[in-house]
Amino acid sequence: MSMHIEAKMGDIAPSILLPGDPERAKFIAENYLQDPVCFNRVRGMYGYTGLYKGQPMSVMGTGMGIPSMLIYATELTRDYGCKRLVRLGTAGAFDPDLKLMDIVLSQATSTTSAINDYILPGHFAACADFELLDKAYHLGRDRGLRIFAGNTLCNDHLYIDDKPAYAAKWAAYGVIASEMEGTALYTAAARYGAKALTMMSIVVTNFGGDGSHEGGVSAEDKEKNLIDMIELALDTAAQ
């Protein structure tokens, strides 16, 4: 048992999906896993294990932001031996070619966070596992999904006063979208010998000059209607 997860050894599958919202984890377990069993309720961060297409599969919420993800990704890999971790979440588009509900695979993460700066004598390049990235990309293309892979930004700040100018600076260097957890996931996976991928659905585009946004989707869509991405994440994480 770790400090933040009450599961016993063997309760969590080697393959696990990591949505930020614990309610989304519950939704996935109840709708996609056979005979799901809840292994964690600590801090309301629900985790479940069941079968997906005959294979053990787990799903667990991680909360928002780099510190929260780093706690759970570390404990899942270090203490429970998880080997294939797929985060599924939402992102804001920096690339103007991205449309609402497009799927972005984070090939690598730039970041505004300093979490790794005091650990290593340089700047760690947090990147996805190529096997998972390649599998997800080709599965998505075969299903006719609008799917993109590229460098993404892992932000400490959600609300930024001059979002259009901020986004434009990153976009000029090929950064296509912004989220808040990927660097932590890739760092923990690298440290403890696991494979990881961050997969996101675009829910915000066209940043307004006052820091607001246009073209967003409803909370209900974000939580329950991202079916294509959920199914892609499950099939990517499965052995």
Torsion angle, alpha carbons of 7, 10, 13, 19, to 10: 10
Q: Which domains does the chain have, with CATH numbers?
A: 15-237 (3.40.50.1580)
In this prediction, residue 162 carries a pLDDT of 80
> Residue 195: is its pLDDT beyond 50?
yes
> Residue 101: is its pLDDT beyond 70?
yes
> Residue 208: is its pLDDT beyond 60?
no
Mean of per-residue pLDDT scores for the chain = 91
In this prediction, residue 203 carries a pLDDT of 87
In this prediction, residue 224 carries a pLDDT of 46
> Residue 61: is its pLDDT beyond 60?
yes
State phi, psi for 40 to the nearest 5 degrees.
Answer: -150, 135
Q: Going by C-beta distance under 8 Å and a sequence separation of 6 or more, which residues neighbour residue 191?
A: 74, 77, 78
Q: What is the pLDDT of residues 12-59, one digit of tens each?
A: 999 999 999 999 999 999 999 999 999 999 999 999 999 999 999 999
CA distance 216 to 35: 35
